[in-house]
């Protein structure tokens, strides 16, 4: 993992309001520290700068890894993953209860690669919903 200076980390965490910028779970509701991740991975030439960094929960970050694109599961066309700095979450996803529904090809590719709707993740978000802790504001 590439070193992100403490000041920059803090800025990314504050900018995200402590929310995973992919699945909208809050750091507050998690026992495990969220990670500042490179949207375009360092191995793909991504830089450690504000507009290439996002706050991610450990699950989203684990599945995303260095991925930046995938086949759209509906069309099989290559498509980039959701880019939290250049795109708005609500333009690409919507919530149906605790299920994250994709609205676009980027949304579909991201839901697939990041395993947004694995049953255990839906169950976790369902529980948070019941306690008024999801989605992260």
Where does this chain bind Zn ion (CB under 5 A)?
Answer: 20, 22-23, 57, 60
Q: Minimum CB separation from Zn ion for residue 56, in Å? A: 6
Query: In this structure, how many other beta carbons lie within 10 angstroms of the beta carbon of residue 32?
Result: 9
Q: Where are the beta strands (DSSP E) in the chain?
A: 35-38, 53-56, 69-71, 78-80, 93-96, 99-102
Q: Minimum CB separation from Zn ion for residue 76, in Å? A: 25
Q: Minimum CB separation from Zn ion for residue 65, in Å? A: 13
Q: Minimum CB separation from Zn ion for residue 29, in Å? A: 11
- Which is closer to Zn ion, CB of 40 or CB of 54? 54
- Which is closer to Zn ion, CB of 82 or CB of 105? 82
- Which is closer to Zn ion, CB of 77 or CB of 90? 90
Contact 118, 63 (CB under 8 A): no
Q: What is the dihedral of CA 4, 100, 15, 59, to 10 degrees?
A: -20
């Amino acid at each position: 993992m590439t070193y992100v200076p403490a000041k920059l980390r803090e800025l990314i965490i504050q900018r995200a309001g402590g929310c995973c910028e992919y699945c909208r779970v809050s750091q507050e509701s998690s026992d495990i520290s969220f990670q500042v991740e490179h949207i375009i991975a360092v191995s793909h030439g991504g830089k450690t700068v504000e507009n290439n960094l996002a706050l991610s929960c450990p699950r989203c970050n684990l599945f995303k890894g260095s991925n930046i694109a995938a086949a759209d599961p509906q069309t099989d066309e290559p498509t980039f993953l959701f880019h939290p700095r250049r795109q708005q979450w609500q333009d690409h996803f919507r919530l149906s209860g605790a299920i994250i529904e994709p609205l676009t090809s980027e949304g579909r590719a991201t839901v697939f690669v990041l395993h947004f709707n694995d049953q255990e993740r839906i169950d976790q978000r369902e529980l948070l919903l019941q306690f008024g802790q999801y989605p992260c504001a």
